[in-house]
Every structure is written in structure tokens, then in C-alpha cells.
Amino acid sequence: MESTEALPRTPEELTAEWLSSALGRTVSDLTVDRIVWGTATKVLVDATYADDPGPQGPPRTLCIKGGFQESVRAYGMAAAYAIEAKFYERLAPAIELRLPSCWYAGIDEPAEQGIIVLDDLSAEGGTFGDPTAPWSADQVAAGLEQLAVLHGPTWDKSTDPHVSWLEVGAAAVRGVAPALLSAEHWDSHFSLEGIPSLPSSLQDRDRVTHGMRRLWELDDAAVHCATHGDAHVGNTFIDTAGRPGFLDWQTPCMAPAFYDAAYFITGALAPEIRRASEGDLIRHYLTALSAAGGPELGYDEAWIDYRRHAFHGFFWAVTPPVMQPVERVAAMGARHTTAIEDLDSYEARGV
């Protein structure tokens, strides 16, 4: 249940007393098993309950996620924590996505904090996507089916109360863009060890910045649906049946469907596999979109949208190590920038 109470800002403040209040049941003891630092921090805990919550109640092992790393807030990401809490409270119950159970979603607007309490999927035998390990075309097809389940029912329904709270365009991404595309960050980032240099067509920072702004202009004028906003393999899980689902709902927004679809395909596949399979994957996605309640789009129109939205993946090339490990930045940045060149994403946006 969404709240507006004052929320913890550090892992040390996640006490048994706080979790008791959040879950509405007495937690007699709370042990932190592991902390996974990142854009949003995940605190994996073991909770002991005063009374057995039963099969319908929260499990002992939980993932408490929120903005617990002040250095990330400096990049303008604070709004993302409240957005994820709103997603689980307002949108998730209305769609049939494969998601972990959410036991609490809290928002502290003055402190720019949002916290969610989820099942610990790893304790249930699930695994997580690794950005350094490309997927197969079949795995990507299954992921596109999940995106279609999100896109189809929300297509051109911006006034629906389940999605009306979503902004047009990912606010967190657009908010961090000035810092990531600044001359200071650009120069220091590409001097770091392990960060690959950009292809020649993407080395002009001013042109990249102009191209991103042009893409957002086209996005804002297009037909919108609810999108994940950061649909990459590092934001996925694989359940015990081998089925993928998406996590890290910090950047959902109303945007063109290929904001997600192009970003996911170009980041998930090794370039040679992408080149061989992207046409079939787009057709697979279009079929899934129609089956989920979306429109029947033509392939030629979708191909242009795919080429255009591939450019969203550029941000991986300038993601700082405080947000993602260098090896992930290098792997994902290389896949995305190669796709931008292959697909001539500049030309598809008319820049």
C-alpha cells in the first residue's frame, strides 16, 4: 500500500520496527544478508515474524529496494525511486506482467525517496540477466512478449487512471541527460580505463546531444503507451520455468512502443545475432502486440521506428561506474553504438 510517511535513507535505518510498520505485521528480528549497491540499492534481508504469515503472507526472505546511495542522487536520479513505488501500487495490479510480489510501496516526496519491499527472487531459485552476457534470439522473443503485455493494453490510453500519472518520456533519463552529455563528464568518462572509445560517427558530443533532443521531440509527438523505459537484460529475471520478466521499474513512462522494443533488442543481442534476427524479432513483437490488445502495425512503419529508437541505447556508452560496473558499460555501450551505426539511427530521425 502506497504511503507518504518519512522513509529510511540508509540501510542502517531499515530496522525490524520499520519493516513491521511497512508490512502491517510484527517483525521480531531482521537480519541483512547482503546489500547490492547500484542506481537503486537492494537490501536483501531475512525477517522473523512474531506470527506465521502463512502462504498468503510475505516470505522470510525479502528484497528492500530504494535510494540508499547518496552519490547516485547527484546524477538527478532521485525521482526514480518514487516512480518505482508508484508503478507497483498503481499500474502493476492492472496488467498481467510477470513480476515479483510487492508487499509494500512507500513514497517520501520531501526526501525524494521511494521504497518497495519485494519477494527475494534469488531465494526462490530465480536468476537475473547479466548485461555482459548476450541473450539468444529466442530469449529476446520471449522478452518482447512481456513488453507487448505492457504496451498493448495501455496503447493510446493516457487518460486511464492506471497510467495517467505517468509522464511523457522517461523523466529520470531526461533528468540525468544533461550531466551525462556534459563536456566535463564526457571527457572524464572516456579517459577511464576499460571504457571503449566511440565509433567515429558518435564522437561529436554536440551532434549526439542534438540527436537525442530530436528523438525526444519525435517521441513526444507520437502515439504513446506505457513503457518500461529502461528495458535491458540487466533489468530482467528468469523464473524457475525459464521465463523472463522485467524488474527495476524506475523509469516507466508514456512513450512510443519501440522506445522499449528497439532498446531491448539492440542491447540484448550480440551484433552478428542481431543483424540476422532483428527483422523476425520485430515481426514477432508486432504479432504479440496485436494479441495483447494493441494495434496491428505494419512492418515498414515499425522498421523505421526501430531504427530511430535504437539511439536511446547511447546512454549506456556514457553511464558512469557509480551507476553500473565498467565491464557492463563497455559491453552494453559497444552493442548499442554498433547498432546505432548499423541502423543509421541519425538518418531515421532526420538529423
The candidate with the shortest Cα–Cα distance to 77, out of 256, 245, 230, 220, is 230
The candidate with the shortest Cα–Cα distance to 188, out of 318, 315, 71, is 318
Q: Calculate the dihedral angle through the C-alpha atoms of 120, 125, 126, 128, rounding to the nearest 10 degrees.
A: 90
Q: What is the domain-level CATH number for residue 48?
A: 3.30.200
Model pLDDT, residue 146: 98
Q: If pLDDT is split at 50, 70 and 90, which confidence band does 219 have?
A: very high
Task: Judge if 216 and 249 occupy the same domain.
Answer: yes
- Cα–Cα distances in Å, from 337 out to 199, 245, 271, 313? 7, 25, 10, 7
Q: Is the backbone of residue 112 left (phi > 0), alpha (psi -120 to 50) or beta?
A: left
Task: Judge if 253 and 310 occupy the same domain.
Answer: yes
115, three cell numbers: 521504497
- The whole domain housing 96 covers 2-121
Say how far apart CA 93 and CA 89 lie, in whole Å.
7
Task: Judge if 332 and 310 occupy the same domain.
Answer: yes
Mean pLDDT of the region 67-88: 80
Mean pLDDT of the region 194-202: 93
Model pLDDT, residue 62: 97
Side chain identity at residue 45, one-letter code: V
Task: Judge if 89 and 188 occupy the same domain.
Answer: no
Mean pLDDT of the region 177-194: 95
- Residue 3 pLDDT greater than 70, yes or no: no
Measured over the CA atoms of residue 291, residue 296, residue 298 and residue 304, the dihedral's sign is negative
Distance from the Cα of residue 339 to its chain's centroid: 19
Pinpoint the alpha helices (H) of 236-298: 258-268, 271-291
Reduced to 3 states, what is the DSSP secondary structure of residue 119? strand
Tell me how many domains the chain contains.
2
pLDDT tens, residue by residue, 287-325 = 999 999 999 999 999 999 999 999 999 999 999 988 889
Mean pLDDT value across the chain:
93
Mean pLDDT of the region 62-74: 82
Q: Calculate the dihedral angle through the C-alpha atoms of 162, 167, 170, 172, rounding to the nearest 10 degrees.
A: -100
- Residue 220 pLDDT greater than 80, yes or no: yes
Model pLDDT, residue 75: 63
Task: Judge if 182 and 288 occupy the same domain.
Answer: yes
Mean pLDDT of the region 33-53: 92
Say how far apart CA 244 and CA 153 lie, in whole Å.
19
Task: Judge if 105 and 242 occupy the same domain.
Answer: no
Q: What is the domain-level CATH number for residue 196?
A: 3.90.1200.10
Task: Judge if 168 and 69 occupy the same domain.
Answer: no
Domain boundary among 66, 86, 121: 121
Reduced to 3 states, what is the DSSP secondary structure of residue 330? helix
Model pLDDT, residue 76: 61
Model pLDDT, residue 72: 65
pLDDT tens, residue by residue, 116-126 = 999 999 888 89
Q: β-pairing, 61-66 with 41-49?
A: antiparallel
- Residue 1 pLDDT greater than 50, yes or no: no
Distance from the Cα of residue 190 to its chain's centroid: 24
Task: Judge if 32 and 92 occupy the same domain.
Answer: yes
- Name the residue with cell 486511464: 160
Burial class for 332, CB neighbours closer than 10 Å (0-12, 13-18, 19+): buried
pLDDT tens, residue by residue, 244-260 = 999 999 999 999 999 99
Task: Judge if 242 and 336 occupy the same domain.
Answer: yes
Burial class for 272, CB neighbours closer than 10 Å (0-12, 13-18, 19+): exposed
Model pLDDT, residue 173: 84
Total-model pTM:
0.91
Task: Judge if 165 and 304 occupy the same domain.
Answer: yes
pLDDT tens, residue by residue, 144-183 = 999 999 999 999 999 999 999 999 998 878 888 999 999 9
Residues 6+ apart with CB under 8 A from 333: 195, 196, 316, 317, 318, 319
Task: Judge if 188 and 330 occupy the same domain.
Answer: yes
Task: Judge if 187 and 209 occupy the same domain.
Answer: yes
